[in-house]
Amino acid sequence: MFNKATKQLVQQIDPNGVLIPASLNDSKKLKLLALVWKKPKTWFFVKAKYIPTHFTLNDLLEKGEIIPGRDETDFLKCKATFKTSGNGSVEIGNEDVGLNATGQSSTELNLSFDTLRKEDVDIPKLMKDSQGRKVDLRHGLIQQFLKGKIRLTLLKERIFTPCECTISCAGQEQGSVSSTLKGYPKLVAIKAKGELKCSSDLKMNIPAGTVFAYSVIKINFSSDGFIELCFEPDGIESDDISEDPDYSEVDCPYTLQEIEEGYSLSSLKTALSDVQNGFCVLTDLTSKCRSSLLLNLRLILLDPPSLSVLVESLEVLSSSEAPLLQNELLDSEKNLTSTVLDLLKSEPHNSQQILKAMHMLLSDVEELTDAGLQLLESFCFPEGLRSLQDLVNLLMATSEPLSKDAIPVFLQKDEEFHRVVDLFKSCNVLLKREDDFMFADVTCENGFLPLVLCIAISGFAFLIDSNN
């Protein structure tokens, strides 16, 4: 709930800036001049990740400390409510055997802060004080840096709570299922119906001094240990992979082009095709394994912290390397991902390639907004995914409007079409029907969200059991 709140807050106050949402586990590490590991991009379509270390710059210095000049001011007063809702239905069968299931859910996230405070480093003073200063070359973090294994940044700004505040989340889910079975010629009819309703109301008191967001600058160390500061801001929206030394053609085998507002999705056809090739190995999984994976991944889509844990675990397994820095994980997060990992480990054929493909897919999925994750989950069954994949293929094939009749039959129903419109909207793509045609246009030029959505749909489509 805290991670969701910080992410929503940063999206509202700094949507195209350099603020990084904080996690509750990392709050105590996020002090001024804290060293933050900037994890390089594994795939071209994901944002770089920032992992706070247990060290500050002063922990690495050979002699003495740098006492940072600091400026603390009121940042903002915040009282906000974020609402999400979704619904869906599945109907299968014929006149003799039928199954109908419906469900709907809604969540409401409330943030209530008296005032958030902002603390900044005095950059001119830091520049002066750091000149000629050296770090201890024997320190493990510096040795990893000089070997090129990690890139480090320095925390220069943080936003925190000066007093206790409250986050609350209320949710409600309800669903129903009914089935019919008719016997012929004995004219026996059986009907069954069931309903489920549940609600939750969670409240979290956040202690004073908890960091909600922060920003960093780049820091380098010369081979003889001298500090080199780069005062260009760094952050989740400031990455340019063309200038990233960790980027290679393996990560992106085609020439990148900017996704501009008003573009057709067909402009992403080459990019999607290249990524899809990496998913083909998922067809080596048994039908039973793919079906089980899809069922378990639906649950993880609704739990972003567990999704992040799964992505990190898959990165380690697919690279066969021990993690350089390990985040503290909750037992609940480990338990939610263990089933997926066990399923993948049970498939020995092309195991490393499968792990890499799943890491690529879930790294992509992690880039979706919370609304996008919930909406995608509602389509994670065979007919829903096939229909989404068919729609993506149609949109990729041409920049011209689609005939309304060409839209997959399942998505032509008003309820389903509205849901798919919301799904694409969450990724900066506008779908609309006018007369007998459907249009799809990119609505924002920042980031890779339109491509991220198409990759996610295609990857999940490879998990459909061919017998369904």
pLDDT in tens, 164-182: 877 777 655 555 555 454 4
Give, in order, the Cα–Cα distances in Å from 346 to each of 37, 354, 428.
33, 11, 38
Q: Is 93 left (phi over 0), alpha (psi -120 to 50) or beta?
A: left
pLDDT in tens, the chain (468 residues): 777 778 777 877 786 678 999 988 899 999 999 999 998 888 888 888 899 999 999 999 998 899 989 998 888 776 656 565 555 454 545 455 454 545 555 566 666 666 788 999 999 999 999 999 999 999 999 999 998 888 999 999 999 988 887 777 765 555 555 545 444 444 445 455 555 455 556 677 888 899 999 999 999 999 999 999 987 666 655 554 444 444 433 344 444 455 666 777 888 888 888 888 899 999 989 999 999 999 999 999 988 888 988 998 898 888 765 554 445 444 445 566 888 998 888 877 768 899 999 999 999 999 998 889 999 999 999 999 999 999 999 999 888 888 888 889 999 888 899 999 999 999 999 988 888 888 888 887 667 889 999 999 999 999 997 666
Domain-embedded: residue 302 = yes
**pLDDT, averaged across the chain:** 79
- Number of domains present in the structure of the chain: 2
On whether both 299 and 406 belong to a single domain, the answer is yes
Residue at 55 is within a domain: yes
Tell me, what's the pLDDT at 243?
Answer: 44
138 and 9 fall within a common domain: yes
Peptide bond into 185 cis (omega under 30): yes
Q: Rounded CA gap, 42 and 47, in Å?
A: 9
Distance, in Å, from the CA atom of 452 to the CA atom of 468, rounded to the nearest integer, reads 26
- Cβ contacts of 24-28, under 8 Å, gap ≥ 24: 24/210, 25/327, 25/328, 26/52, 26/211, 27/209, 27/210, 27/211
- Tokens matching residue 145: 């840096």
Same domain, 234 and 327: no
Query: What tens digit of pLDDT does each residue of 115-143 get?
Result: 788 999 999 999 999 999 999 999 999 99
Same domain, 282 and 361: yes
What local confidence, expressed as pLDDT, does residue 334 receive? 59
Q: Are residues 230 and 356 in the same domain?
A: no
The whole-number pLDDT of residue 460 equals: 96
pLDDT at position 218 is 92
Short-list 454, 460, 277, 443, CA closest to 379? 460
Tell me, yes or no, whether 171 lies in a domain: no
Range of the domain at 26: 2-80+111-165+208-243
Q: 363: how many CB neighbours lie within 10 A of its CB? A: 24
Q: Say whether both 51 and 158 belong to one domain.
A: yes
pTM beyond 0.95, yes or no = no
User: Is 302 in the same domain as 416?
Assistant: yes
Which tokens belong to 86?
């979704």
pLDDT at position 184 is 43
350 and 225 co-located in one domain: no
User: Would residue 35 count as lying in a domain?
Assistant: yes
